[in-house]
């Protein structure tokens, strides 16, 4: 996902032509990471825990 975002930024700034597929691909990858995390917590029979830093 990092490579996809870096490619988007570099193609937009250096080539002055943004890539058309990288925005959709990074969104798909972010959703996939969330779903794999949900599946992992379901298999381990636990729940999600979100820490907030103040």
CB 11 within 8 A of CB 18: yes
Banded model confidence at residue 46, pLDDT cuts 50, 70, 90:
confident
Per DSSP, the chain holds a count of helices (H) and strands (E) of: 2, 0
pTM score > 0.85 for this model? no
Banded model confidence at residue 31, pLDDT cuts 50, 70, 90:
very high
Cα dihedral: 18, 11, 30, 2 (round 10): -170
């Amino acid at each position: 996902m990092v490579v996809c975002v870096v490619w988007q930024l570099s193609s937009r700034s250096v080539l002055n032509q943004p890539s058309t597929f990288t925005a959709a691909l990074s969104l798909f990858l972010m959703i996939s990471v969330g779903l794999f995390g949900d599946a992992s917590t379901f298999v381990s029979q636990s729940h999600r825990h979100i820490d907030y830093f103040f």
